[in-house]
Structure 1
Amino acid sequence: MTATVTYCTILTTNYLPKAMTLADSLRRHENGAGLKVLFSDVARDEDLPDVEGVECVSTASLGLSAREVQQLAMIYELVELATAVKPLLLKHLLDTTEAAVYLDPDTYLTSPMVELLPELEASEGGILLTPHFLKPERPDAKMGESHMLAVGIFNLGFCAVDRRAIDFLDWWWGHLSLECLYEPLAGLFVDQKWVDIGSTLFAARSLRHTGYNVGVGNLPERPLAADADGYYNSSNGERLRLFHFHAFDSRHPEKLSMRFEHSSRDDLAEDSAIRALCAEYAEILSAHERSLPAPPPYPYANDSRGRHISRRLRRAYRQELPTRGHELPSPFVAAEAVAYDEWRRSAWKSVSKSFVGDTAKTARWLLPEEYDRVRKRFPKLAGRMSSKFSGGDGMWG
């Protein structure tokens, strides 16, 4: 018996054209399958856009109160928020489907994912993940093994779970509810690094088919070619299933990524499979971009008075949230603007401590010998910095 599967993605409104392109590819290759789209920047269902071909949901569907969503939107920046709610969405979907598959909005199917359900069923914990790399690092790798130490082993642009994964999703949300941070100094890369731990604790399975989550980073180990049936890995013949476009601009289809310069000129030659895939994707994506109005600004970038909310101010709010959550005024509610102003003025101490703490961490890493000499010469000062400027996470004592 075939399990029921729901495909989903999470985005802010400016990424909607990419999600519509993903939805087109799902319908084409997965027997008309639909795509559920969670808008992390839309708090109420009545404010959702009307989009043909996708099912749109707001953060009201996550089982959080409006206040809890506002708090998440305050402590996290845009990408952090969108990745933090991933386990909540997946768990919500498992109430009505046997398996849920998360796909980043900038992924694109090129053939049916026939291996997906058998591989998920074979996993001990009901969790299926795609590692960034499946082979030892090549000399021409754009993002190698040392990069994985910073961002995590798995690319969470893909994640499949079934109902056996409920405990894993609860554990994952237990961290992401407060610790879905892009904080290189703390060894955190939003949702991904946590799954390095969770994959072992909850018996996840690595999908070792080389056609899934292919992108600019792992192309050296997964060279693409094309034939009458589509795209495939020319080194082993496995068909391309899912391609992940990182920082792709439909106005420049001759470039695989606007962020990473690809290392092989042959891949982007006019007659190459990659160039053909980029052109195919760009044509569909640009049509959706033209069909939609300009997206609204991100609603959680500024407070109710229109002031930009800095990263350090968000971190100060986050530090107080566990103990003062019910007292903290929301920056996004006009009726609480005066109370928020008062908190904002008082937060400068936390902001200053955070800045000095990060400076001390950086010095400790980049100038260890000099840092050690200062610590030995001024032990009381070093002790105060260690205790006061540990970041509030107990990670740097």
Structure 2
Amino acid sequence: MKLATAYFTICARNYLAFAATLAESLRAKEPNATFFVFLADDTEGTEAFPETIIPMSALGLPEIGSMQFRYTLLEFATAIKPACLLHLLRGRNFTHAVYLDPDIQVFAPFGAVREAFAAGASCVLTPHLLQPLEDNGTPSDLHILASGTFNLGFCAFDASIESLSYLSWWQDRLIDQGYNALEQGLFVDQKWMDFAPSFLSRLHILRDPGYNVAYWNLAHRPVKQAENGTWMAGEAKLIFFHFSGVVPGNPSVFSKHQDRFTAENAGAASRLVTAYLARVSENGHNHWSGIPYAYGKFLDGSPIAPMMRRRPDAGAQGFTQSDASWWHAPSERADQAPGVIITRFMLALHESRPDLRAAFPLSSGRGRAAFHAWFLTHGYTESGGGEAALEGALGRSLRAGAAPPPKIPAWLSKLLPSALRTRLKSAFVRMFR
């Protein structure tokens, strides 16, 4: 027997306070909603969580172990989205499934989604933008174009042959092409959805400005509260707000992924952020946020930096050893000089970031020296490589009483801040989620 609509989110244990906040807001407006949390993590310690948790083992993906190693948490949690949809629609016999990012709060029922399905839609999506962004803020139209037309903090599918076929195709792509790699035309699961208007004959693009309001479209949808208490987005009723980029415990940051809005100029939306973060805190964020990601370390306990997941032969067996000696040895693909070692790890980091490539061209000795100095002061921690990465860059082991890292020359001290300030704006790898 076919069931009704399933709502769900995907997250790791450190985001379960967000998932709980989403669930309570959804049920306040959709009292009969069936809600699930697909846990992109280990389930240990989640027994007391009040919502229904579905473990990764339920998805039946043979490649799941390999994906857990090859992908970062963001990549992994998004790469399994079509598999979660298929599990609900095909495995649990729901007629419709609605995905919501965990950092969403619901303010009104999903009437337009039900109407779209009643009219024959197989899929419902919300665009990032309904109008162009014409100021000089970040994100710009170009940033949106790079990350994908539709924001996949929300998507909804029915159980039709068209939907199931599309979801199967999408899942196949995300097994090994769900990387956050903008220069390759990829942005996790989201960029693939640009094909939806071409591949889905019954796609419904939901242009109601009350759906999926967030920092990227707030300029066109100012939030306000009517006299009767109803929250509005422009002239439309606010259905759900996507709190992408908020910082728990710090409501003064409207969103860390943009520079267009502050707590002072975002209007009534700032009140939403303050109230939302209070609910996340009350739902146990201090507890859940302290639980480390189960797939963030090798079995020997050493951290897995993002670049270490990118080895072509990486698979589930990658967890067994860190290969630190291989990663932190001098790279055969970079020119080396006394005191300026460029390790394989450093080169992988350099190649993964356009801002570093622009600021520190490795084709020149000066560029290599600048990059090496930046890595000694910032890069080894920023990259997640830790002390082992620093040891490799220094060409020695750090020992008690050993000499400290070499000081940065004066010319580099002046170069680094200005070079990085002008380049970091292009490093928007965590945007739009």
What TM-score, normalized to structure 1? 0.76
* More moved, 32-41 vs 214-223: 32-41
Q: Aligned residue for 1:245?
A: 243
Contact 2:223 2:268 in 1 (8 A): yes
One-letter code of the match for 1:157?
A: G
One-letter code of the match for 2:74?
A: V
Q: Aligned residue for 1:311?
A: 306
Query: Structure 1 runs of 4+ off > 4 angstroms?
Result: 264-267, 340-345, 347-363
User: Counterparts in 2 of 1:139-158, with a 5 A limit?
Assistant: 139=135, 142-158=138-154
CA gap 1:97/1:224 in 2 versus in 1, 3 angstroms: same
Contact 1:9 1:103 in 2 (8 A): yes
Q: Aligned residue for 1:226?
A: 225
Deviation of 1:35 (Å): 2.1
Distance of 1:265 and 1:310 partners within structure 2: 33
Q: How many residues are paired up? A: 342
CA gap 1:241/1:140 in 2 versus in 1, 3 angstroms: farther
List per-residue Cα deviations over 1:271-295 (Å, max 9, x = no partner). Answer: x421322232122111113674553
Distance of 1:329 and 1:221 partners within structure 2: 45
CA gap 1:265/1:71 in 2 versus in 1, 3 angstroms: closer
Does 2:261 align with 1:263?
A: yes
Q: Aligned residue for 1:19?
A: 19
Distance of 1:132 and 1:36 partners within structure 2: 25
Distance of 1:62 and 1:170 partners within structure 2: 13
CA gap 1:162/1:264 in 2 versus in 1, 3 angstroms: same
Distance of 1:210 and 1:80 partners within structure 2: 28
Q: Secondary structure at the match of 2:15?
A: helix
Cα RMSD, aligned residues only? 3.4
One-letter code of the match for 2:207?
A: R
Q: Aligned residue for 2:270?
A: 275
Q: Aligned residue for 1:98?
A: 95
Q: Aligned residue for 2:123?
A: 127
Structure 1 runs not aligned, ≥5 long: 322-327, 372-397
One-letter code of the match for 2:83?
A: L
List per-residue Cα deviations over 1:197-219 (Å, max 9, x = no partner). Answer: 23421233211000111001110
Task: Among all aligned residue pairs of Structure 1 and Structure 2, give the percentage whose two residues are the same amino acid.
Answer: 30
Distance of 1:127 and 1:360 partners within structure 2: 34
Q: Aligned residue for 2:215?
A: 216
Distance of 1:184 and 1:141 partners within structure 2: 20
Distance of 1:199 and 1:215 partners within structure 2: 23
One-letter code of the match for 1:89?
A: C
One-letter code of the match for 2:37?
A: V
CA gap 1:223/1:71 in 2 versus in 1, 3 angstroms: same
Contact 1:106 1:246 in 2 (8 A): yes
Q: Aligned residue for 1:54?
A: 51
Q: Aligned residue for 1:177?
A: 175
Q: Aligned residue for 2:423?
A: none
Deviation of 1:265 (Å): 6.8
Q: Secondary structure at the match of 1:195?
A: helix
Q: Aligned residue for 1:394?
A: none
Q: Aligned residue for 2:191?
A: 193
Q: Aligned residue for 1:378?
A: none
CA gap 1:40/1:353 in 2 versus in 1, 3 angstroms: closer
Greater per-residue helix proportion: 1
Q: Aligned residue for 1:286?
A: 281
1:159 to 139, 155, 171: 155
Contact 2:13 2:288 in 1 (8 A): no
Q: Aligned residue for 1:41?
A: 41
CA gap 1:191/1:329 in 2 versus in 1, 3 angstroms: closer
Q: Aligned residue for 1:395?
A: none
Distance of 1:130 and 1:161 partners within structure 2: 13
List per-residue Cα deviations over 1:216-242 (Å, max 9, x = no partner). Answer: 1110011111112421123xx210001
Q: Secondary structure at the match of 1:243?
A: strand
Structure 2 runs not aligned, ≥5 long: 334-342, 364-433
What TM-score, normalized to structure 2? 0.70
Contact 1:120 1:160 in 2 (8 A): no
List per-residue Cα deviations over 1:146-188 (Å, max 9, x = no partner). Answer: 1122101010000000112101101111110000001122121
Deviation of 1:137 (Å): 2.5
User: Counterparts in 2 of 1:298-377, with a 5 A limit?
Assistant: 298-316=293-311, 319-320=312-313, 330-333=317-320, 337=321, 355=347, 359=351
